[in-house]
Amino acid sequence: MEEVWGLAVNPKKKKEYITAADDGEIIVWDVDRIEHVKRVQLEGKLRCCAISPNGDLLVVGTAAGDVS
């Protein structure tokens, strides 16, 4: 994992958070176990991430200005 630019806490699962990094990787982390539970590789450098209030949607922004 490279430099982390985005961090979001899952509002439904308070013990889970998501990071978005320069290497294009999204990682879902378990706070209690202090380990990742899922990894997704995207294209480009990631700059931000957010989770919808119901916890169903994840939005990621890139350095190029794209949103996924």
Residue 19 near residue 61, CB atoms below 8 Å: no
User: What is residue 9's predicted lDDT score, i.e. its pLDDT?
Assistant: 94
Residue 60 located in a structural domain: no
Residue 2 confidence (pLDDT)? 77
In a domain, 66, yes or no: no
pLDDT, tens digit (0-9, with 9 covering 90-100), for 20-65: 999 999 999 999 998 999 999 999 999 999 999 998 999 999 999 9
Q: Which of 36, 15, 16, 9 is nearest to 25 (CA)?
A: 36
The DSSP secondary structure of 16-56, one letter per residue, reads: EEEEEETTSEEEEEETTTTEEEEEEE-SS-EEEEEE-TTS-
Domain that holds residue 26: 4-55
The per-residue pLDDT for 1 is 63
Query: 61, 48 in Cβ contact below 8 A?
Result: yes
When divided into structural domains, the chain yields a total of 1
Q: Say if 61 falls within a structural domain.
A: no
DSSP code of residue 1: -
